[in-house]
Structure 1
Amino acid sequence: MAIKSLDKASHSISLCMIVKNEEKYLEECLTSVRECADEIIVVDTGSSDRTVEIARSFHAEVFLHPWENDFSKHRNQSLGYAGGEWILWMDADERLEPGGSSSIREAVTLQDADSLLLTMVCFFDNRTRQSWNNAIKLFRNHRGIHFEGIVHNRVVGCQSTKFCPAKIYHLGYDIGAEDVRKKFLRTSTLLRRAIEEEPLNFKHHHDLAVALSSVHRFRAAVQEGLTAIRLHEQALSSDINILWTYFVVASSYYNLRLPDEARSVAEKALSLNPDHFDSYFVLASVCADQDDMDGFSAAYDRFVEATTRYRENPHLAGPLLVNKIDEQWRLEIEYGRLLLKRGKHKEAEEKFLIASRISSDPAAAFRLAAAICRDHSQPASASRLLGKALESGIEPHRGKFEKALNRKAEGQLHGYSTDIRHLLGLESKPPELLYPLGVEALKIGEYASAEEHLSDAIGKGYDHPEVYNGLALACKYQGKIEEAMKWNRKALESDEENANALAHLGHLSYDQKAWDSAKRYYSRSLIADPRQKSVLFHLSLLALMDQDLPACVSYCDRLMELLDLPRERVIERIQDIGTIYEEVGHAFHRLGENRMHQEALSFSNSLKGKPQ
């Protein structure tokens, strides 16, 4: 690449970068800006690969500085070496879109701007998700404009910012779970240090909430996000990205299965900005889960309207980061599910096809649609949609896994278990399949294999609480009670109110007749999720053992409501409670809960004085 003359009259541009071991990305990054960068300044903070060699092949000026755990310090070092009139700053894992150079060249001729916003498009999950935000990526040199922030750099000192209609693609977050975990550990360490130094800075708490949500630590993300919102309000800040914080909190509540809280936070965000389509996405998701077609349709319509307007006019959002710009297809899938529940099969399939057409990953759309058809006893539709997923290039192992699940839905249980065992026996599998495959291994009684696959999933970065809970079950069914409890406690380290982990610990304690421990775990679990039938059932039995009949009746009443059993009755004798347990046992039998069916009938017989 030839270096152009740094002539101020030509509105010269210096590309400034900090790098370390970026040989995977750097060449494509530098190639993308060769038509607009007159000078390349690279601060290398300790590369041991070909990064420096690649940079110099583009005639970059490379300066070596030891890493000092401060991104802004090193970015400001790069500015000190730059001679251009304008600074374009990028990371190695970023790419300027084709044709973007001409937009940049035209934009830097603006006389009344000292800085320019470009649209950043970040990719996640094999490009099935995107976030967009307008960020200052170009600014005038020698005007005192610089970077602040140990982790997430912020450009400060700008007086007049305009919009440049060019996009920069950020690939660095489109990585596997193991790399996400490593990035989280690095980032969270620096952010906690920043919070110690500036505890009242809401941006640090926001950034930590975002990082926590990226590794499924949703309860901690809620706590940090709410702290950020409170500090933002106290500071009377006008930072529009507090809407992003609201989204992180609302979506974390949603993932914690707390729909009322998710709805409340999303509605609060919309009261601040009625066009915030990320909040409409959360509202639509909550309404879909609650089978509220009218609420879903209203939120869906506003989401589509707002995202369409944003795509056509990205400058309207200013610096706001949005997370759901490319995920209308997921709402189309949910729309299809709601229609399917209402018997509108043709309309549902039309929605599934729309989802596949607008998704950046049609195979993923078809796979999710097939799963919904499976869950709604539509095996023929599930098979047809899975066929389309295979045609669209679904990963082969995932395709075989989904075929096995289709067989199960069709009642071909032998074929299903044979297929799952075949997949379990393969030496090489995609990391994202380890957890779901481990769950199916549990269901077919392959407990040792389940333990192996779930352990491997954790090693590959899929270490969210439900993987630990699955591993605990695998150990329990092999008689490894202490190990099972260890894994459930590990889940609680990530989420101290995880309902499944608490319930499992309650069950393990109950089985060991550690009644007091069982009650403590069950009670905490019920606070986290009041709709757990097994927990209510066992709490009722423990109350009965304690001869606390009012508590027993109260738990039974809540349980009967969940089981859709008649609750209007008079309890006059202990035998009446035995009748309740008999009805509860039959209800559990209809649900396939055989252990609780037998246990309920056993207590019923005891209370009625019948032989066991």
Structure 2
Amino acid sequence: MKICVYAICKNESQFVDRWMDSMSEADGIYVLDTGSTDDTVEKLRARGAQVMEELVSPWRFDVARNRSLALVPEDADLCVCTDLDEVLHPGWRAALERAWTPEAGQARYRYTWSFRPDGSEGVVFWYEKVHRRQGYRWVHPVHEILEWMGPGQPGPMVTVPGMQLDHYPDPAKSRGQYLPLLELSVAEAPEDDRNLHYLGREYLFHQRWDECIATLKKHLALPTAVWADERAASMRFIGRAYLQKEEPEQARGWFFRAIAQAPHLREPWMEMAMLCYHQEDWDGVLYFTGRALAIAVRPDTYICEAEPWGPLPHDLRCQAFFRTGRNALALEEARKALALSPADPRLRGNVAVLEHL
């Protein structure tokens, strides 16, 4: 098969060599540069990438993605869309070729979106940015997704074991453009439940509590908003906004709704555990962290957050046992927390103090 990589970029010189190394298993690499003022373009071309320079104004991610896709030759079989701050693990092409089937339309692979300070994985889910060359286009101004535009039905999604993409973003880059683009996306498609959920979450990031609550309630009211995991996330975010408004009882009610909506996820249980922790309800902390830890299989969607699958549940249990005079149990939980984040000096200190006691 002919497999090509395509991307968009702007001022990402620092990532060029690492990215090109990881994409080198492709038959061709095509990049749309949208206005770099550093030496990104020169470095990409020197490494063998085909680069086109074009300003996209007004800026939209879907327009830029589609123009970068148009650079890929028509005779390519598969397209792999990545960004320059991402790295594919070696062997990705062989894994993709093993998993691909003649009738397939897209492929999903494991994606580490963030890492913890100690280098361990943070948010992990499965991504779907590999697709046939023909029949697909990108839609939405931001948080863009692939949409099938060909005749008939798209081919099935295949899962690619062994294909791993890691994300190492530049912390200096602003995400300020996301909010206006999300507002535009919702204005263009007000019945799109996914966009509405993302917009409500973005208002939460920007500390616009009332707009967050109102937007996510609209999301929950849409007849198409049926995915329990995402509905529970909207409920949790509403609860967080109410906490910031100093309305803990409203928050508690929304966290309970989230648990009822998706009891198979750790995240809602941990929201309640954190609320109990701040209210010094130690029995509540133990109950809700216990329910969270009883969920042993980590979901493979973007809804899965890092904290509930890291040391936090055991750390909270350690605090609850210590506050209620059960030091032996507190030490047991402290050791479990440290095992999940061995470089954390605070967790190491907790173990040392409890061992001394």
3-state DSSP of counterpart to 2:184: helix
In the TM superposition, residue 247 of structure 1 has moved relative to its aligned partner by: 3.5
Deviations 1:186-227 (A, max 9, x none): 111222233333334333332222223334444543333223
Which residue matches 2:297? 309
User: Take 1:305 and 1:12, find their aligned partners in 2: how far apart are those partners?
Assistant: 45
3-state DSSP of counterpart to 2:83: coil
Paired letter, 1:309? V
User: Take 1:217 and 1:361, find their aligned partners in 2: how far apart are those partners?
Assistant: 35
Contact map agreement 2:4 2:27 (CA 8 A) in 1 = yes
User: Take 1:138 and 1:297, find their aligned partners in 2: how far apart are those partners?
Assistant: 43
Q: How does 1:36-51 map to 2 (within 5 A)?
A: 37-51=26-40
Which residue matches 2:165? 168
Contact map agreement 2:78 2:131 (CA 8 A) in 1 = yes
User: Take 1:333 and 1:256, find their aligned partners in 2: how far apart are those partners?
Assistant: 27
Paired letter, 1:275? H
Report the TM-score when normalising by structure 1.
0.51
3-state DSSP of counterpart to 2:13: coil
**Cα distance change on mapping 1:235 and 1:354 into 2, 3 Å:** closer
User: Take 1:128 and 1:221, find their aligned partners in 2: how far apart are those partners?
Assistant: 31
Structure 1 segments of 4+ aligned residues over 6 angstroms from their partners: none
In the TM superposition, residue 337 of structure 1 has moved relative to its aligned partner by: 0.9
In the TM superposition, residue 41 of structure 1 has moved relative to its aligned partner by: 0.8
User: Take 2:308 and 2:275, find their aligned partners in 1: how far apart are those partners?
Assistant: 19
Contact map agreement 1:88 1:139 (CA 8 A) in 2 = yes
Which residue matches 2:66? 76
User: Take 1:360 and 1:16, find their aligned partners in 2: how far apart are those partners?
Assistant: 38
Which residue matches 2:217? 226
**Cα distance change on mapping 1:122 and 1:301 into 2, 3 Å:** same
Q: How does 1:109-148 map to 2 (within 5 A)?
A: 110-123=101-114, 126=117, 130-142=122-134, 144-148=135-139
Paired letter, 1:339? F
Q: 1:362 aligns with which of 344, 354, 357?
A: 344
Deviations 1:328-380 (A, max 9, x none): 3012111111111111233323322321220275235447x59xxxxxxxxx9
Which residue matches 1:8? none
Q: 2:331 aligns with which of 349, 371, 396?
A: 349
User: Take 2:191 and 2:77, find their aligned partners in 1: how far apart are those partners?
Assistant: 36
**Cα distance change on mapping 1:104 and 1:129 into 2, 3 Å:** closer
Paired letter, 1:53? E
Counterpart check, 1:381 vs 2:350: no
Which residue matches 1:18? 8
Structure 1 stretch displaced more, 97-106 or 60-69: 97-106
Q: 2:99 aligns with which of 104, 107, 115?
A: 107
Which residue matches 2:50? 61
Q: How does 1:531-550 map to 2 (within 5 A)?
A: none
3-state DSSP of counterpart to 1:309: coil
Which residue matches 1:328? 310
Q: 1:85 aligns with which of 77, 86, 93?
A: 77
Consecutive unaligned residues of structure 1, counting only runs of 5 or more, are: 1-10, 371-379, 386-612
3-state DSSP of counterpart to 2:122: strand
Report how many aligned residue pairs link the two structures: 347
User: Take 2:80 and 2:240, find their aligned partners in 1: how far apart are those partners?
Assistant: 34
Q: Would you tell me which structure has more strand in proportion to its own residues?
A: 2
**Cα distance change on mapping 1:117 and 1:191 into 2, 3 Å:** same
Q: How does 1:152-231 map to 2 (within 5 A)?
A: 152-157=143-148, 158-165=154-161, 166-172=163-169, 175=171, 179=173, 182-183=174-175, 185-230=176-221
In the TM superposition, residue 45 of structure 1 has moved relative to its aligned partner by: 0.5
User: Take 2:209 and 2:339, find their aligned partners in 1: how far apart are those partners?
Assistant: 31
Q: 2:278 aligns with which of 283, 286, 289?
A: 289
In the TM superposition, residue 325 of structure 1 has moved relative to its aligned partner by: 6.1
Identity %: 21
User: Take 1:190 and 1:218, find their aligned partners in 2: how far apart are those partners?
Assistant: 19
Paired letter, 1:102? A
User: Take 2:27 and 2:289, find their aligned partners in 1: how far apart are those partners?
Assistant: 46
Q: How does 1:559-574 map to 2 (within 5 A)?
A: none
Paired letter, 2:291? R
**Cα distance change on mapping 1:242 and 1:136 into 2, 3 Å:** farther
Deviations 1:302-334 (A, max 9, x none): 32243x312xxx5xx4x5531136643012111
Q: Would you tell me which structure has more helix in proportion to its own residues?
A: 1
Paired letter, 1:25? F
Consecutive unaligned residues of structure 2, counting only runs of 5 or more, are: 149-153
3-state DSSP of counterpart to 2:305: coil
Contact map agreement 1:14 1:38 (CA 8 A) in 2 = yes
In the TM superposition, residue 239 of structure 1 has moved relative to its aligned partner by: 8.1
User: Take 1:247 and 1:129, find their aligned partners in 2: how far apart are those partners?
Assistant: 23
Paired letter, 1:136? E
Deviations 1:520-558 (A, max 9, x none): xxxxxxxxxxxxxxxxxxxxxxxxxxxxxxxxxxxxxxx
Deviations 1:541-588 (A, max 9, x none): xxxxxxxxxxxxxxxxxxxxxxxxxxxxxxxxxxxxxxxxxxxxxxxx
Contact map agreement 1:128 1:360 (CA 8 A) in 2 = no
Report the TM-score when normalising by structure 2.
0.84
Structure with the bigger RCO (C-alpha within 8 Å, sep 6+) is: 2
Paired letter, 2:328? K
